[in-house]
Amino acid sequence: MAIADRVPGPKGNRFKGQIQAFRENTLGFLLDCAHDYGDVVHFKTGPRDHFLLNHPDYIKDVLVTNNRNFTKSPFIQGKPLMGEGLITSEGEFHHRQRRLAQPAFHRKRIATYASIMTQYSKRHIERWQDGETRDIAEDMMQLALAIVSKALYDTDVEAETDSIGAAVDTVMLATQRSPAWLYRLAPSSVIKVLDQLPLPANQRFLQAKARLDTTIYRMIAEHRAHGGGDDLLSMLMRTTDEDQDGAQMSDAQLRDEAITIFLAGHETTANALTWAWYLLSTHPQVEAKVYAEIDEVLGGRVPTIDDIPKLTYIDMVVHESLRLYPPVWMMARTSINAFDVGGYRIPAKTSVMFGPYVMQRDPRYFPDPERFDPMRWTPEAQAERPKFSYFPFGGGPRQCIGEAFAWMELITVLATIAQHWRMRVVPGHVVEPQPRLTLRPRNGVMMKFEERVPVPHL
Ligand code: HEM
């Protein structure tokens, strides 16, 4: 019997597989797969077989123990946008680029970014008015964009965040291409051709990409003109390639690396912050504890790096929020050689998927999984769970390079803003996760803003 028939899963239509269910309600479909069929599930979208892994040991196997047997391609949707940057490149080239970027993400280095994070947060909230209604998702996107640009590229983009944000929205939505059935059924060679056609969707994507490139190439040009400083972009620029007669990175390669970190470094944290605000606003008892901790630890001061270890309850809130709404909700790999998992032999060149959104809602590790409960994150409770029952930042050699940066940002931004503001979701506004490249709230999160304590002037 073929492996696809032996592994349990929803079989669906012979030709279309489960495309429709997958497309109409992706998150619900995947949760049902895990619930109904267990730790290894098979389903098809068009001609493509997928194996969904729902056990921490199996996920660890793919990401860590046997990571060399898996590539990210050809399921990398981001390549048309990010080219050969850190997220999308593979093998020796990826290894080298990662080594070059690493110093900018060193813990000591990240400590120096804390003051940028608090300064930009304070500056951002000065524009808010007591009693007004705002989309917190948009605010967090603008803030996270300004922070990553300043911290890693020493560039101020605050004046351009609206147009950059609109371009990012377009490129993120472009991952859902239409007509969907065609993109699901067509082999990747045909998709490459489709992407070149002058279709309106392709043109929108190309325009948005060009908008982002304008900012990135301007940053590169400015850095070249003044010789650069000690930010990530300057570091990458100064790097020479020993294997290529000491050649420096071309502008095209710098662009791929810069746009990758620019996008990965703000879209994810902005979504994480948005989901945290949403959860706090809908759980007033948790929110009250956050305020109590902030008032006790900070007493009205701006948080500094030394305060971070004392903000233990906020740390648990962030863990729990990343559990329920992981910005990177799904990961996928392709097997190089056949491999064994859960008693099955999965063939070479097969797609395996596993998602924080699904695994982190598994009642074996998180009883009553839909409940928002930061107390799941006491050190004792954490020690009882296997590592890969929770992996919002991935794992193994492709683990998020920005994890420490993200933690610092999530905690400093939440603490700085919560000192002064309380938000409430506008009645009637439906908040719903939309799984695209990242897990965004469909239609944003409209909140009523209430000032707790006025912001003193800088
Ligand atoms: C809450 C915030 C964030 C989350 C949840 C997140 C999540 C992830 C995950 C799950 C991966 C691995 C994907 C895979 O293995 O397929 C990843 C990779 C990556 N992340 Fe993040 N990330 C966050 C913030 C950041 C930040 C702040 C930066 C940079 C400033 C960043 C840069 C990257 C890069 C460059 C990679 C690719 C690493 C590689 O393959 O070597 N991320 N991220």
Spatial distance between the Cα atoms of 136 and 124, rounded to a whole number of angstroms:
12
Residue 396 CA: nearest ligand 1 atom is 15
- Please work out whether the CB of residue 392 comes within 6 Å of at least one atom of ligand 1: yes
Residues 6+ apart with CB under 8 A from 281: 287, 422, 423, 424, 425, 447
Q: Please give the pLDDT value at position 188.
A: 64
Positive or negative, the CA dihedral 143, 146, 149, 154 is negative
Give the SS3 label for residue 335. strand
Report CA(88)–ligand 1 centroid distance (Å): 11
Q: Ligand 1 pocket: which of 96, 277, 400 to mutate (most atoms <8 Å of CB)?
A: 400
- In short, whether 82's Cβ falls inside 6 Å of ligand 1 is no
- pLDDT digits 0-9 by tens, 110-133: 888 999 999 999 999 999 999 999
Q: How far is the CA of 328 from the centre of ligand 1 (A)?
A: 8
C-beta of residue 407 within 8 angstroms of C-beta of residue 107: no
Joined together, the tokens standing for residue 12 give 């669906």
Q: How much is the pLDDT for 77?
A: 65
**Residue bearing tokens 């804390």:** 114
Give dist(CA 343, CA 238) in Å, integer: 50
* Gap from CA of 64 to ligand 1 centroid (Å): 16
Q: What is the pTM of this model?
A: 0.93
Provide the 8-state DSSP code for 249.
P
CA 385 to chain centre: 23
> Is any ligand 1 atom within 6 A of the Cβ of residue 416?
no
Name the closest-CA residue to atom 42, ligand 1: 402
Query: Residue 58 has which token pair?
Result: 């199996």
Strands 48-53 and 40-45: antiparallel
Model pLDDT for residues 388-433, shown as the tens digit of each residue: 999 999 999 999 999 999 999 999 999 999 999 999 999 999 999 9
| Amino acid 456: pLDDT | 64
Tell me which residues of the chain have a pLDDT lower than 70.
14-17, 73-77, 175-192, 194, 241-246, 454-458
Cβ–ligand 1 contact at 331 (below 6 Å): yes
Decide: 398 in ligand 1 pocket, CB within 6 A.
yes
Closest protein CA for atom 17 of ligand 1 = 400
Count, in order, helices (H) and strands (E) of the chain: 19, 14
CA 447 to centroid of ligand 1, rounded, Å: 28
Tell me: cis bond preceding 74? Omega within 30 of 0 counts. yes
Domain spans of the chain? 1-84+329-372
Does the bond joining 47 to the residue before it have cis omega, within 30 degrees of 0? no
Rg (CA), the chain: 22
**Can you give the pLDDT at residue 244?**
60
pLDDT given for residue 458 in this prediction: 47
Cβ–ligand 1 contact at 327 (below 6 Å): yes
Spatial separation of the C-alpha atoms in residues 262 and 266, rounded to whole Å: 6
Pairing of strands 421-425, 446-451: antiparallel
- CATH class of the domain at 1-84+329-372: alpha beta
Residues in the chain: 458
Q: Whose C-alpha lies nearest to ligand 1, atom 18?
A: 400
Q: Does the beta carbon of 85 lie inside 6 Å of ligand 1?
A: no
Task: Please tell me the number of Cα atoms within 13 Å of 147 on its side-chain side.
Answer: 34
Q: Is 140 helix (H, G, I), strand (E, B) or coil?
A: helix
